[in-house]
Structure 1
Amino acid sequence: MTEAAKPTNEKLRLEALHSLNILDTEFEKEFDEITTLASFLCDAEIALISLVDKDRQWFKSKYGLAICETPRAVSFCAHAILDPYKPLIVEDARKDPRFCNNPLTEVDKIVIFYAGIPLVDKDGFALGTLCVIDSKPKKLSQKQIEALKSLANQVIMLFELNKKNRDLEYMQSKLKKRNDSLREFARVISHDLKMPLANVITSTDLLKLKLGDKLDSESLEYFEYIKISSFSMSNYIGDILEHYESESLINHKPEKFVLNDLLQEIVSLLSIKPDFTINFPKENPILESNKLALKQIFFNLIGNSIKYNDKEQIIVSIETKEDDIFYHFKITDNGMGIPNNKLEVIFDLFTIANHTDRNGNKGNGIGLSTVKKLVKKLGGEIKVSSQEKIQTTFEFSIQKPN
């Protein structure tokens, strides 16, 4: 018996093999189907997907064999990977000086016939083989060898797909941890900053009262500026927290409710003034959905329709319809409109369509990003169309419960 030499690129080859993170993983149906087919096509007792590690060969899939690995010293596959682009065919191992004294051949009498196709990755490293084995001498036709080569290519494709899936899962896990950290950071910052800001606002009012007539008009303007800026910062912090906490709204179970009752709740929360007219849907349907998430969506969209409106009489109209899969909603206002160059990015975080709102305050570009996030989580889509100085229409859908 001759123990196989190590490939000249052994160190890099092992790094490529270990980068797949596939050694000692569970058996998978996709690989087992390949070894079953290989055994059938070659009329062989055993078929293996064998990976040649540092001191062993481990079987990702096995057909007709009970053991999961063997020492590399007795491995036929360790010989096969020495010539990555050529099949190793041993018709009768008892007559081959490399294998005649191999315990798998001489003692166990498992491997008399062997045919191995090297599994070569995109960088040219032979990671192992797809092999078929029999306990008696055998010959393969050229068609059978070509079929084995095709199956070996499928194994390599599965390796690469598995690696991409694992990398994706790792990145998703990493992103989730970062998002969780960012959400916690936003919560802590919101809590720690809101109280000082409230103190600034209260102190400003107290100072104005205490100083009374001692303040000239310019000083009063400065005090008012401090107060307005503090309110603006407080709203900004609140919106950031709302954006990152919106994820928790998705966890609420669907419930049945009347749409117009929900809209009336929102109107009450927004403290609507007489210069505002809202047209509720005539259908007034009963919905079954995540009520809290939908409430947040409408609250942001209707709130924007009011804030970014330059007309004396604000008019907002809401329409709805449904099909077998989705609820569809349309909100149209007669406000400032959105510039054409902003329509494609209006849902991006921190993107602002208008410089200031109805009261001269600058937006922070968080609300619509939160809306899109919630709509997506509810299985729907959202889009916007607008004519500057005339109107804006938001249309969105949410998926019905299964």
Structure 2
Amino acid sequence: MIKPKFPVDEQQRLAALRSYHLLDTLPEKDFDNITAVTANICDVPISLVTLLDADRNFLKSQYGLSLNETPRDISFCGHAILDESNIFIVEDARKDERFKDNPLVTEMNAIFYAGVRLVNSDGYPLGTLCVFDTKPRTLTKSQQKALVALAYQVVNLFEARKHNRMLLTAQAELEERNEELKHFAGIVSHDMKMPLANMIITSDMLRTKYGQLLDEQGRDYLDYIKQSSFTLSEYITGLLEHYETNKTAAFRSEVFDSQDMLEEIIELLNINMDCEINLPEENIEMQANKVALEQILLNLIGNSLKYNDKEKIRIDIDCREKDGMYYFEITDNGMGIPNNQLSKIFDLFVTNNTLDRNGKKGNGIGLSTVKKLVNRLEGNIEASSVLGEGTTVKFNIKKLD
């Protein structure tokens, strides 16, 4: 018997093998199906998917055999990975100097062997797809071609599992980062809102007590400090709402009337301007995440009020149910949005540099939060607009059981 040699790049090959995290894993149906098909095509009693580790040959899948691994120094696959031909064949191991007194031959009657290297995308042979028989034999050209093709599919499965594992790892890391960011945002909110409130109160106190001692510019500075504090406070609140959408979207569904909900939202907005809001004619008994839906509508109707330069504001709201979805449409006669900016309005921190009715600039958080909530409720959202005439926002959410 001749022990198989090690490849010159053995350490790199082992590193590549271990990056797939397949060693010592349980049997998997996808691989077992391939070994079963391989044995049937080649008309042999044994078929294996092997992974050649440092000192053993791990059997990822075995058909016709009950072993999990064999020593590397007696493995046929140790020789096969060194052979760069398409397929490594030993027709009668009893007559081959490399294998004639090998325990696999003398004790397990492994006479015939054919193996195809499982070469990964970086060119490293990880193991083999191989077949054994207890008698001397040959493979037909079509059997050899099928064995090579099936080995290619095994490698595809390796790569797919590695890719999925990487995606799951990346997802877990992103979730961890997101939790850290939400925690940080919570701390920032707590630590910054109190100083901001103090700044607002202090500016009011200074204006009351010392306003008569200040000139117009000084009083403007105090107003600027107060307004900037309000703006930053709103920004922090919006950011927190954005990162709390997962919790909001996780609230249980409840049954409620669409008309009652919309009337509650209008009351919450505390509208103190000339405004006509037309509600849907039909009242729908809805079953959905009411908390999330209210946040969506508060933001959208609020935008229709803020970004409106008309003397009389008009907002038309439509709501209907179809095929297990609730469809909403909100149309206003406001400022409108330029066409080249419509595709970006739902992106986080993106603004169109338009000042609202009170001369304030948005922070680009609200609509991003709305889209995130709509997506979490298994719906879609889109907007259309005519500059100077108004905007229509359409969205739908899934009816919940």
Q: Provide the TM-score with structure 1 as the length reference.
A: 0.97
Indicate if the aligned counterparts of 1:84 and 1:125 stay in contact, CA closer than 8 A. no
2:255 partner amino acid? K
Indicate if the aligned counterparts of 1:84 and 1:126 stay in contact, CA closer than 8 A. no
Whole-Å Cα distance in 2 between the matches of residues 100 and 52 of structure 1? Answer: 21
Indicate if the aligned counterparts of 2:48 and 2:61 stay in contact, CA closer than 8 A. yes
Gaps of 5+ in 1: none
Mapping for residues 45-56 of structure 1, pairs under 5 Å: 45-56=45-56
**Superposed displacement of residue 246, structure 1:** 1.3
Q: Give the equivalent residue in structure 1 for 2:60.
A: 60
Q: Give the equivalent residue in structure 1 for 2:117.
A: 118
- SS of residue paired to 1:25: coil
Mapping for residues 91-240 of structure 1, pairs under 5 Å: 91-109=91-109, 111-240=110-239
- SS of residue paired to 1:178: helix
Percent of matched pairs sharing the same residue: 53
Mapping for residues 275-286 of structure 1, pairs under 5 Å: 275-286=274-285
Indicate if the aligned counterparts of 1:320 and 1:328 stay in contact, CA closer than 8 A. yes
2:188 partner amino acid? I
Q: Give the equivalent residue in structure 1 for 2:43.
A: 43
Mapping for residues 363-402 of structure 1, pairs under 5 Å: 363-401=362-400
- SS of residue paired to 1:264: helix
In structure 2, relative to structure 1, the CA distance for the partners of 1:173 and 1:7 (3 Å cut) is same
**Superposed displacement of residue 212, structure 1:** 4.6
1:96 partner amino acid? D
Whole-Å Cα distance in 2 between the matches of residues 85 and 271 of structure 1? Answer: 79
Number of equivalenced pairs: 401
Whole-Å Cα distance in 1 between the matches of residues 26 and 359 of structure 2? Answer: 62
**Superposed displacement of residue 274, structure 1:** 4.5
Indicate if the aligned counterparts of 1:84 and 1:119 stay in contact, CA closer than 8 A. no
1:358 partner amino acid? R
Indicate if the aligned counterparts of 1:325 and 1:399 stay in contact, CA closer than 8 A. yes
Whole-Å Cα distance in 1 between the matches of residues 391 and 77 of structure 2? Answer: 68
Indicate if the aligned counterparts of 1:54 and 1:72 stay in contact, CA closer than 8 A. yes
Alignment deviations for residues 265-312 of structure 1 (CA, whole Å, 9 cap, x no partner)? 211111112412211111121111111111111111011111111111
- SS of residue paired to 1:376: helix
**Superposed displacement of residue 167, structure 1:** 0.9
**Superposed displacement of residue 344, structure 1:** 1.1
Whole-Å Cα distance in 1 between the matches of residues 351 and 341 of structure 2? Answer: 8
Q: Give the equivalent residue in structure 1 for 2:90.
A: 90
Whole-Å Cα distance in 2 between the matches of residues 16 and 47 of structure 1? Answer: 24
Whole-Å Cα distance in 1 between the matches of residues 334 and 295 of structure 2? Answer: 21
**Superposed displacement of residue 121, structure 1:** 1.7
**Superposed displacement of residue 340, structure 1:** 1.3
**Superposed displacement of residue 322, structure 1:** 2.4
Mapping for residues 314-333 of structure 1, pairs under 5 Å: 314-333=313-332
Indicate if the aligned counterparts of 2:86 and 2:148 stay in contact, CA closer than 8 A. no
**Superposed displacement of residue 101, structure 1:** 0.9
Alignment deviations for residues 161-187 of structure 1 (CA, whole Å, 9 cap, x no partner)? 111111111111111111111111111
Mapping for residues 245-394 of structure 1, pairs under 5 Å: 245-394=244-393
Gaps of 5+ in 2: none
**Superposed displacement of residue 354, structure 1:** 4.0
Alignment deviations for residues 147-171 of structure 1 (CA, whole Å, 9 cap, x no partner)? 1111001001111111111111111
In structure 2, relative to structure 1, the CA distance for the partners of 1:47 and 1:296 (3 Å cut) is same
Whole-Å Cα distance in 1 between the matches of residues 266 and 24 of structure 2? Answer: 60
Whole-Å Cα distance in 1 between the matches of residues 334 and 26 of structure 2? Answer: 60
Alignment deviations for residues 295-345 of structure 1 (CA, whole Å, 9 cap, x no partner)? 111111011111111111111111122221321111101111011111111
RMSD between superposed Cα atoms in Å: 1.3
**Superposed displacement of residue 359, structure 1:** 0.4
**Which moved further from structure 2: 10-19 or 385-394?**
10-19
Whole-Å Cα distance in 1 between the matches of residues 162 and 3 of structure 2? Answer: 31
- SS of residue paired to 2:265: helix
2:166 partner amino acid? D
Q: Give the equivalent residue in structure 1 for 2:26.
A: 26
Whole-Å Cα distance in 1 between the matches of residues 26 and 341 of structure 2? Answer: 50
Whole-Å Cα distance in 1 between the matches of residues 169 and 156 of structure 2? Answer: 20
Indicate if the aligned counterparts of 1:256 and 1:287 stay in contact, CA closer than 8 A. yes
**Which moved further from structure 2: 191-200 or 272-281?**
272-281
Indicate if the aligned counterparts of 1:328 and 1:395 stay in contact, CA closer than 8 A. yes
In structure 2, relative to structure 1, the CA distance for the partners of 1:243 and 1:79 (3 Å cut) is same
Alignment deviations for residues 90-122 of structure 1 (CA, whole Å, 9 cap, x no partner)? 12212211111111111233x122111111122
